Amino acid sequence: MGAGNRELATDNWHLRICFDRKIRIVHAARFAYVSGMTSNAILSEDEVIQQADEMRSTPANRSEARRWQAVLKRDSTLDGAFVFGVSSTGVFCRPSCPARRPRRENVQFFEHATAAEQAGYRACLRCRPKAVDGNPQSAVVRAACRYIEQHIEDRLTLSGLAKQVRRSPFHLQRTFKTVLGVSPKAYMDACRLRQVKQNLRDGHDVTTSLYAAGYGSSSRLYERTAGQLGMTPEKYRRGAVATVVRYTIAASPLGRMLIAVTDKGICAIQFADSEAALQQGLMREFPFAVRKRDDAALAEWKTSLGRLIDGQEAHPSSSLPLDIRATAFQRRVWECLQKIPRGETRSYSAVAKKIGMPKAARAVARACATNPVAVAIPCHRVVREDGESGGYRWGVERKEKLLAMERGAGA
C-alpha cells in the first residue's frame, strides 16, 4: 500500500479498512450451512413464538378465539349461539351489539343468557340479548321446525336437516327431543299428517293429498292415520260420511252428559245444561258422520263412566277405551293427566315440567282446553299456579264441583 496510516478494525459483521483518501466498507462473507438447508426452513424469532402458541392452543381456546372474532365483526348470524359478559360493566350482550367493543381481557363467553345471569351479569339494555333468544337450543329447534314445514313435500332425513341448521345429527336429535319432547321424525310425521288432512278437506283425492305431503307410499299413510284419525283417509276426505257415531245422553252430578262412541272406543264425552246443546256440540265435532242415538247399546258405557265420576273406577283407561285424534304434544299431555291421582291437582307449569317442556305451560293449557273426552282424561285436575281453578271447557262451576267431589271421596 501507499504511504499513510493503515488500520485494521473489525466488529461483528463488518471489516473496516482505512485508506488515506477513502473509507471502504466491506461485508464479511457468511458461510452457508453445510447441510444445504433451504432458506424457508429457518424461522425468525416471531415465527417461532407464533408456532409455539399455536401448538399450545386447545379446542376451547380456538372456540373462544372464533367467538371473539364474531364479537369484533358484530356478526349477527351468531346471535343466539352465545352471549358475552363484560366484567368492567357487569352486563352481557349478543355478538352483534352495537355498543363499543370491550377489551379482550374483560370478556367472558357464555352458552346462553341464563348462564350469564347466573354468573352475576345483567342483560344489556341496548342489544337486549334475552330478546334474541334466551335459550339457543330453542332457536335451533325453531329453525329446524320452519325448515320441515317449508319442505314437507321433500324426502327429509335427519342428516340433511342437521346440515341445514349446522349441527350434527346426534346433537340435533337430542336437542329437538329436549325442547319439544318429540323427535324430528315424529314432528315430520305430524306435519305430514296435518298437510294430508288439509288437502283432504280441500277436496283433493287421496293419492294427490298423499304425495303432496311427502308420503312415499299409501301404506305408510294408512298406518299413521289409523290411530290418529280413527278412519281411513277416504272417509276423512268425505267428512266422515258413513262413519257411524253412536251416542247416549244421561243425567249426571254435573248436568246432562253425552257419551259418543265409534266402533273403536269413546270419541266424545261432553257436559251441558240441555240435550239440545249436547246434540249441537256433537254435530259440530262430527259434522258429516251418521249420528245415531243408542241408549240401550251404550248402557254399559254409561255405567262405567258413572263409576268413574263417583270415584269407584281408579283407572279409566282399563274400562273406557278411547278413540280420539291428537297431535304428538297433545297425546303427551293427556297421558300425563291420566297419571294424576284422584283428589289431587297439578299446575299447568308442573305438567309442562313433567313432560320435559318447562316453558310450555300455555301449550299445556290449550291441550287441556281441546280435550274431547271430559273426565276420562282428567283435565279438570290441572289448575293455575296460584291454586285458582282456571278455565274449563265445560264451565268453571263444573270443574270446581268435580274437584270437590273427588276431594270429598278421598277424605
Residue 213 confidence (pLDDT): 65
Tell me the pLDDT tens digit for each residue of 28-42: 444 444 444 443 434
What CATH number corresponds to the domain at position 142?
A: 1.10.10.60
Q: How confident is the model at residue 233 (pLDDT cuts 50, 70, 90)?
A: low
Q: Return the CATH number at 88.
A: 3.40.10.10
Residues 147, 234, single domain; the answer is yes
Name the pTM for this structure.
0.47
For residue 287, give the CATH number of its domain: 3.30.160.70
Q: Are residues 215 and 270 in the same domain?
A: no
- Which one of 272, 296, 319 terminates a domain? 319
Do 360 and 393 lie in a common domain?
yes
pLDDT at 270: 93
Q: Residue 48 pLDDT > 50, yes or no?
A: no
pLDDT number for residue 381: 93
Q: Does the pLDDT at position 269 exceed 80?
A: yes
Same domain, 230 and 255: no
Is the pLDDT confidence value at 60 over 60? yes
Cβ burial, residue 137 (10 Å; 0-12/13-18/19+): middle
257 in the same domain as 205? no
* Least confident window among 41-50, 196-205, 363-372: 41-50
pLDDT number for residue 86: 94
Tell me the DSSP string of 81-97.
TBEEEETTTTEEE-TT-
Query: Considering the domain boundaries, does residue 34 fall inside one?
Result: no
Q: In what order do the strands lie in the sheet with 23-27?
A: 7-10, 14-18, 23-27
Highest averaged pLDDT of the listed ranges 151-165, 213-227, 247-261, 300-314 = 247-261
Reported as a pLDDT band with limits 50, 70 and 90, residue 105 is: very high
pLDDT at residue 3, rounded to an integer: 45
Q: In this predicted model, what pLDDT tens digit does every residue of 282-340 receive, in sequence order? A: 888 877 778 899 999 998 888 888 888 877 665 555 557 888 877 778 888 998 998 99
- CA 311/CA 331 separation, integer angstroms: 24
pLDDT greater than 70 at residue 409:
no
232 and 154 housed in the same domain: yes
Asked which of 212, 239, 266 is the last residue of a domain, the reply is 239
Q: Who has greater pLDDT, 113 or 22?
A: 113
Residues 371 and 279 in one domain: no
Question: Which residue range(s) make up the domain with 374?
Answer: 328-410
Which neighbouring-strand residues pair with 15? 10, 26
- Residue 139 and residue 233 in one domain: yes
pLDDT, mean over the chain = 77
Any domain includes 154 = yes
Return the exposure string of 14-49: e unless at least 16 CB atoms fall within 10 Å of the residue's CB, then b. Answer: eeeeeeeeeeeeeeeeeeeeeeeeeeeeeeeeeeee
> CB of 267 within 8 A of CB of 323?
yes
Report the pLDDT value the prediction gives residue 227, as an integer from 0 to 100: 53
Average pLDDT over residues 48-58: 50
DSSP string, 160-200: HHHHHTT--HHHHHHHHHHHHSS-HHHHHHHHHHHHHHHHH
d(C-alpha 149, C-alpha 163), whole Å: 16
Please identify every residue annotated as catalytic.
93, 379
Residue that terminates a domain, selected from 319, 337, 365: 319
Q: Is residue 15 part of a domain?
A: no
On whether the CB atoms of residues 80 and 67 are closer than 8 A, the answer is: no
